[in-house]
Amino acid sequence: MWQIVIYMFSKACEYGIKASIFIAFSSYNGTRVSLKAIAKEINSPEAFTAKILQDLVRHDVVSSTKGAYGGFEIEKTLISSIKLSHIVNAIDGDAIYSGCGLGLHICDEDHPCPVHHKFKSVREELKDMLENTNLEELALNIKSGASFLKV
């Protein structure tokens, strides 16, 4: 038996979000984490995860240190200010969650696609959620065992 699932995010985004949460979690303990440790923790392919982390570094979502004892971290005071939307934007570009559900170039109140109004609240809720959920709360839930990064 198998199931097909509709994903909200690309694999790249999934890995990016999970990696960021784990880095935030570790940074609270003052520990820098290596690519290897991240990939193991979030159960992702190492080399691909490396690419995504490079994106996140370029966009200042996380910071990196090269060399032995190097790795990735997030400055403690910044953790609560990083929203899911920052991560998604860093990876998938300046995303517009309000893009037309059916791919019309123009889709607004005046010229709506067939599902424009139907989707309105879903889109808005998604946007709102991404823009208001920060890394701190997500990391704390990992710490307390309230949520999990793999399996």
Partner DNA sequence: TTAAAATAGGATAAAATTATCCGAATTAAA
Partner DNA sequence: TTTAATTCGGATAATTTTATCCTATTTTAA
Binding site for a second copy (CB under 8 A): 3-9, 11, 14, 17-18, 21, 84, 88, 92-97, 99-106, 111-116, 118-119, 121-122, 125-126, 129, 133, 138, 141-142, 146-151
Of 7 and 69, CB closest to a second copy: 7
Q: Is 107 helix (H, G, I), strand (E, B) or coil?
A: coil
Query: Which 75-94 positions form the footprint of DNA (CB under 7 A)?
Result: none
Q: How far is the CB of 60 from a second copy (least distance, A)?
A: 19
58 contributes a contact to DNA by CB under 7 A: yes
Member of 31, 65, 132, 147 binding DNA (CB under 7 A): 65
Question: Which residues, including other chains, have CB under 8 Å from residue 43's CB and lie 6 or more apart?
Answer: 149, 150, 151
Q: Minimal distance in Å, beta carbon 50 to a second copy?
A: 18
Among 17, 18, 71, 135, binds DNA (CB under 7 A): 71
Q: Is 85 helix (H, G, I), strand (E, B) or coil?
A: helix
Alpha-carbon distance 20 to 23, whole Å? 5
Tokens 């696609």 found at: 113
CA distances in angstroms from 110 to 24, 99, 116, 117, listed in the order given: 43, 15, 11, 11
Among 60, 125, 50, 122, smallest CA distance to 87 is for 60
Sites of contact with DNA (CB under 7 A): 10-12, 15, 33-36, 44-48, 50-51, 53-54, 57-58, 64-72
